[in-house]
Structure 1
């Protein structure tokens, strides 16, 4: 047992030396959660996708604006003197034509209906004066209020341009949200892979440093035996060569650590001038995890319901479906039901020109004598109602444009259907591969752990035999290499399991949920 304690002291000394060397380099302790957070904050592709989602949301709001109430208003004044080719022009004596002066105001509120129709409320007021001798009221106050409705019965009944635009915009927004989710998932996967690769590389460095320490010890013992005359001088060559070989492996593994660090920094550091580029990342998370066996049937069911790639493909399909519905509606004749109801009002004062022409006072009904108030009073009394109802029909003979547009839309929808099927096939393969990879990593962990324990036992036994002179440098060094390889293999299995678990979560579409990450908001 004293021999094992001596080996441990050597390993501690190597670790202490490494820590002294690393003390000169600033360190950056980093957990997987923190690495993921930094990557999501600094990823420019994610920033672009977030803007796309926001733009798509505004597009939906804009499309719904088709149902906003539209207010129209007009004010005007005009004076007219129209030549009249008649003996009864109504012009005063000595004039060629009567003169009309008026000031008017009209307003209306109109809105598109969810059924494709339109409704409008309108009203107007007009004050006019004239010297036409046949006009009994001057000034005259004319008013009107009413409502009009137009409702499609064939084309634009089930879907119209406004509803098509809303469905297309909603589908585009869903596709943008799915793309954002996909990019976030891919980013998390990349961070996980880089993080656990760094963990594995650093652990491999520790394993090979331990192997170098063991080689140094074996070389020291061999030299002692050569000096004691129990071994020949040529016996020093083998542990010396093995020590140098392991030092070469250590240099290569440290290079892997640097490369793995830079890969992770590329994901989590957004500024190329960030001082952290010169820091040594020290992962805070341990790769050890509770291994589990996934249910492939449940995994596939979850993936088909949650994968953003499928959601994006279905959103594109919904977009083309809306266009097919709209183009199919365009094939129908335009048959609209139109109706209106209006109440008109009139009031005024007796025209002096008309009385002068008649040579006697003009009798004006009392209900019409007055100004604006009396004019609106006749509206309230329903003195002058107007009502109309009818249908409007239009149909292009042949309708080739609509037929061609429908054919194009159907073709695009067929392509979208194939795209959905293709994504589902891809997801099927990815989920199965992820399940198999996770199960393989689980089995490798068990095997590697058992192999490492066995290698430790074999090395201890071989060292004991060497101590009593019944073993050789070759066998001891071989057992040391076996232990190093077993440790590296165990580390690889542990980190591969973590990577496989992340990949399975991504493949089934639950990675964001597992990490508590939401793509909603900014």
Structure 2
């Protein structure tokens, strides 16, 4: 702010200060260096035609290669080259912009929109992880406001005054800060495979040889442990566990050496109270799907806010451009009057005091022109900042901007009755739909958290197949007891594991009751309280929308009245100036009187220019308030999402 004040009051610009730029943070991938305006123009001249830029598209990683799931994925590095449309609008070292050009450039280059576009694949990743049983991280659907400039007093910086509910539903503040999404623990749905294998050699000194028959006991074991486990959306858990080993010892009391062991466990469990059902275990999936809808609506709100902002910046530029021209004409007239009076002074036709007054007036108008040029330069910088990805090109940074549209088209919303405007707003505004989805998410959470109150009761069943085998121990000292009818090889041992030779069956239940259950009860009751707050917020948002529409209509009516008053004041000042100049020619008025009348005319022209800009911004604001910004400007939401304008 101090820099702007310095520019307005001092009227000088340091080129080195304009060229400064903050260092970019470290990124995982390289960033393409954007070509300068001159390089872009040269490339276009060589190619003979503009190349259609590639639209924004980020596809979630997927592959049929089973090993790709264990490799990191990357996103294409940023492309910070401005769209070809920008260099097509440069002529003779000046940037000529119409309002439609401004809107198209904003859709293609504005960094706020570019930032928000990444929220859409982020929402898709949330859905992907919830389908695997993970929690929903949420997506920040707050409207980004990194672009400087724009916005009138009646506008909200977010561009959508009622996005708070939708933002919370999307998880911008984090699910853990409330009971949103709370409930029983959801186990991951992706299968888990565990495998462990090892060889073990053990040597043990024995004080008593009765157990193994040797004073130094040696044992060699080769063992394999494996388990396959998976949870399903109903809460069902399935596990298959296999354990097998081959063991050799120097014991004289073992009948088999080596000894083979094989064990298969098949286990199924199903919760029937807490943790049961698709609604409970797929609640994060439902929230993630709602978040995708919220993100798409949030992008529409972002597009409305960005277009509203750049339109405001454009009309500020128009006002500054016209004011600078008014100050130029005013100073030119003052200089001409001073030259004429100096000639009159040489002829002794007027007193010296008249020339001194003229010189004072010229100095004042020079100061006014300096401030006007500073304001114009600032607005040129603001609009270039809003319409480019980078402005570190010195040629672009210092390039004058010429606005081509000096008056906007009539707005049909200006003549509609207030109830029709409110009905349109309730139908079109993205924040209305976001609030409705937020209530749906809150209802999902309200239903699923009830399941957490129930005791944990799981029914389970398991089957176990055991088998032993191995060769007879040649060192067996048990005499006639050293016999066995078990299979001697691994194949026979495995076969007995699966053919019900030595099965075990078990079925039962596991009941876990939390006495008093205060945590779950408090969470459930809190979720009801938060839902009531959400209902109040929803009603408040509906009231806010009605107020916003009415306020925008009032502002438009006031702006229109200011334009009429400023136009009448300008016309009156013009007539006064014409009459005073005629009277001067007749000798009834002095040149200083004419100079004062012309100054009044310049002030009136500047006021009219400012009033017209405020009126155009009021029309923009009522479009925003009723949600008509995109439709009124012929903007395709698909073009806005891709960042390449093909329909306008």
Q: TM-score range by the shorter chain?
A: 0.5 to 0.7
Q: Which residue of 2 aligns with 1:17?
A: none
Q: Of residues 185, 188, 200 in structure 1, which corresponds to 2:319?
A: 200
In the superposition, relative to structure 1, how do residues 152 and 426 fare at CA in structure 2: closer, same or farther (>3 Å)?
Answer: same
Is 1:118 equivalent to 2:237 in the alignment?
yes
Look up the match of 2:68.
none
2: CA distance, partners of 1:291 / 1:520: 29
* Counterpart in the other structure of 1:6: none
Q: Which residue of 2 aligns with 1:154?
A: 273
- Corresponding residue of 1:403: 521
1:99–1:140 Cα change, 3 Å: same
1:84-233 matches, within 5 Å, as: 91=211, 94=213, 102-129=221-248, 137-158=256-277, 163=282, 185-210=304-329
Rounded Cα–Cα distance in structure 1 between residues aligned with 2:445 and 2:114: 30
- TM-score normalized by structure 2? 0.56
Change (3 A) 1:311 1:246: farther
Q: Secondary structure at the match of 2:412?
A: coil
Quote the residue 2:640 is aligned against: 518
Note if 1:362 corresponds to 2:489.
no
SS at match of 1:328: helix
Deviation at 1:395, TM superposition (A): 0.8
Q: Distance in 2 between matches of 1:99 and 1:325?
A: 61
Q: Give the alignment's Cα RMSD to 1 decimal.
A: 5.6
**Aligned partners of 1:490, 1:213: CA distance in 2, in Å?**
20
Gaps of 5+ in 1: 1-25
Deviates more, 1:397-406 or 1:162-171: 162-171
Of 620, 626, 640 in structure 2, the residue corresponding to residue 502 of structure 1 is 620
1:389 and 2:503 matched: no
Q: Aligned equivalents of 1:205 and 1:242: distance in 2?
A: 21
Cα shift readout 1:383-442 (whole Å, capped 9, x = no counterpart): 444443322211111111222233334444444443444344333322333344446656
Count of aligned pairs between the two proteins: 480
What's 1:331 paired with? 453
CA distance in 2, matches of 1:154, 1:410: 21
Aligned partners of 2:515 and 2:310: how far apart in 1?
Answer: 62
Structure 2 distance, partners of 1:291, 1:440, is 16
Change (3 A) 1:129 1:305: farther
Equivalent residue for 2:378? 262
- 1:188 to 1:339, Cα distance in 2 relative to 1, 3 A: same
Does the Cα contact within 8 Å between 1:91 and 1:97 map onto a contact in 2?
A: no
1:303-340 CA distance string (max 9 Å, x none):
44665656776677677666655543221111112223
Task: Say whether the 8 Å CA contact 1:52–1:176 is kept in structure 2.
Answer: yes
CA displacement at 1:60 relative to structure 2 = 5.6
What's the counterpart of residue 68 of structure 1?
A: 190
- Following superposition, the deviation at residue 265 of structure 1 comes to 2.2
| Contact 2:241/2:264 (8 A) holds in 1 | yes
SS at match of 1:359: helix
CA contact (8 A) 1:138 1:350 kept: yes
Tell me the SS of whatever aligns to 1:252: helix
| Greater mean alpha carbon deviation, residues 157-166 or residues 279-288 | 157-166
| Corresponding residue SS for 2:405 | coil
Partner SS for 2:550: helix
Tell which deviates more after alignment, 209-218 or 343-352: 209-218
Query: Quick one: distance in 2 between partners of 1:387 and 1:360?
Result: 31
What SS is found at the alignment partner of 1:362? coil
1:373 to 475, 481, 491: 491
- Cα separation, partners in 2 of 1:96 and 1:148, compared to 1, 3 Å: same
- 1:245-324 paired onto structure 2 within 5 Å: 248=364, 251-252=367-368, 254-263=370-379, 265=381, 268-269=384-385, 275=394, 279=398, 281-294=400-413, 295=416, 299-301=421-423, 303-304=425-426, 307=429, 324=446
Contact 2:264 2:464 in 1 (8 A): yes
The match for 1:29 among 84, 95, 115 is 95
Q: Is the 8 A contact 2:328 2:369 kept in 1?
A: no
Cα deviation 1:182-231 (Å, max 9, x = unaligned): 6665454444323321211221332454456677889999999999xxxx
Maintained 8 Å contact 2:323/2:372: no
Q: What TM-score do you get using the length of structure 1 for normalisation? A: 0.67
Quick one: distance in 2 between partners of 1:219 and 1:259? 27
Stretch moving more, 191-200 or 441-450: 441-450
SS in 1 for 2:400: strand
Per the alignment, residue 12 of structure 1 pairs with: none
| Deviation string, structure 1 residues 133-182 (Cα, Å, up to 9, x no partner) | 88765434333445322222111224799756666777778777777766
Give me the whole-angstrom Cα distance separating, in 2, the residues matched to 1:221 and 1:320. Answer: 78
Name the residue aligned to 1:15.
Answer: none
Q: Which runs of 5+ in 2 are unaligned?
A: 1-91, 135-187
